[in-house]
Amino acid sequence: MKQSKLLIIIITMFYFSAFTNNERVKENIIFIIVDDLRDLVMAENQLQILTPNIDKLKKRGVNFINSFTNNPVCGASRASLLTGLRPTKSRFRTFKTKINEDAPNSLTIASYLKNNGYKTISNGKISHYPKDAAYGWDDIFRSSRNNPKDYKDPDNIKNLKNNFGPASEFVYTDDNDYSDGKVTQKTIEDIKTINQTDKPFFIAVGFQKPHLPFVAPKKYWDLYDRNEISLPLNNFFPPSAPKKADYFYELRKFTDIPEKGPISDNKAKELIHAYYACVSYIDAQIGLILDELKYQDLTNNTTVVLTSDHGFSLSEHGRWTKHNLFQYELKIPMIISSPKYKKNKTSKSFVELVDLYPTFCDLAGLDTPNFVQGKSLITNLKNPNKITSDIAFSIWGNGETLISNKYYYTEWKRNGSLTNRMLYDIENDQLQMNNIAEIESNRVIVDSLSRILNKHIKSVK
């Protein structure tokens, strides 16, 4: 009889111990945000970018193929994501955006999770400025560099001009010689360490490549044959688009790029090649993190979220930039791999970066704060075929864009008055070459989209 009672006690203790442990580990979150990572399947006539680890992550989760940034510049988009607040004309506007200035003392997703028992770690570029909204993080890591742009070629380092060298570089070097490699190794050590504790974790991992300059180890360049790289079909600016949309400035700062005029076809192919190499390099870093989760027996207890702060134009419309309201800057990858939800599925529901805050809350089993302006994606993880949204919004400067399955519609205003607009029928004009906003027969659809866009603008506080 005594042995039976003892057995019952042991079984009960084991049950509650296992229950408590499962409750802890299922809430772990790895959030990976890659700088300037465009939608990877957008350019039909170019080579496929080799991303075997991202492809594996897709098979383990839900791939959101209609995902968009709320502002195509790093500081603003990241501030919006971290606070759950949409950018406006007076908040989260530029790459210099600081949460501490535009939304001081806001409850960031990191601080909310930290307040609810999470170990929160920021590795790499999460906020644009490392100390911005630092109160939300238990640990902040930014890898050191021996020069501002992470060049490795001694000649490039020696000949910097205002901290800029060439727009691309390859050297025979180890992955960990670059700052992103150091971010990966720091994340791996964090996973090892935290796995020995009782706290759930939220580890945010920010990779800087493929941001300019496009520098990566030579082995990733060798994955591609430049002779097989072709320029996009729409590698010239469409005459029907407003001239204010013909804009790029960042690339001009690099020493091998002309200050004015077009870039040669050979240089353009070199830059595309370099961008591909950088993406494959980051894919390898993501693979190392996924491998460590598996090694630590955390794969079945950790949600992995992968996205980008905005896209990047690789010569489409003759531009090399984000900082604009075409699809190449606005459309981004988003994958959510959670052991609790569907695997190897695709969602066509429209998704915005601002939706991640409430999604993280649901993943952690927490109520979403009332101020959050995004919508949780948990419904889509449960049922990827369900369309919970068929529209998205983005803002850049004085321009505001509405995106649907059929249309990209943009208005620019100054002092409340309309100055320019664009309308692209994305179903029939996938390359966005024919601005049809001023065609009289489209007046009804323009007026309808304008009403929806401006109603949204007025609703955002």
**What is the distance between the alpha carbons of residues 168 and 23, in angstroms, rounded to a whole number?**
46
**What is the distance between the alpha carbons of residues 67 and 336, in angstroms, rounded to a whole number?**
12
Give the SS3 label for residue 216: strand
Q: Which residues of 319-335 are buried (b: 16+ CB within 10 A; e: fewer)?
A: bbbbbbbbbbbbbbbbb
Q: How far apart, in Å, are the Cα atoms of 37 and each of 54, 236, 322?
A: 12, 22, 10
Candidate list 128, 211, 317, 323, residue with the active-site label: 128
Candidate list 74, 310, 317, 361, residue with the active-site label: 74
* 426 phi and psi angles, rounded to 5 deg: -70, -20
User: Is 317 one of the catalytic residues?
Assistant: no
Strands 28-34 and 201-207: parallel
DSSP 8-class letter at 352: E
Helices (H) and strands (E) in the chain, counts: 13, 17
Q: Which two tokens stand for residue 49?
A: 């970018």
Contacts of 138 (CB under 8 A, 6+ apart): 114, 119, 120, 121
- Partners of 28 in the beta sheet? 302
Residue given tokens 């600081």 in the structure block: 98
Contacts of 114 (CB under 8 A, 6+ apart): 120, 136, 137, 138, 202
Residue given tokens 């706290």 in the structure block: 199
User: Is 278 one of the catalytic residues?
Assistant: no
CB contact at 8 A, 301 and 26: yes
For the chain, the straight-line distance linking the first and the last C-alpha, in angstroms and rounded, comes to 68
CB contact at 8 A, 281 and 54: no
**Element holding 201 (H helix, E strand):** strand 201-207
Count the neighbouring beta carbons within 10 Å of the beta carbon of residue 116. Answer: 14
DSSP character string of 385-415: T--S--EEEEEETTEEEEEESSEEEEEEEET
Q: Which residues of 156-166 are buried (b: 16+ CB within 10 A; e: fewer)?
A: beeeeeeebbb
Give the SS3 label for residue 89: coil
Catalytic residue positions, numbered = 74, 128
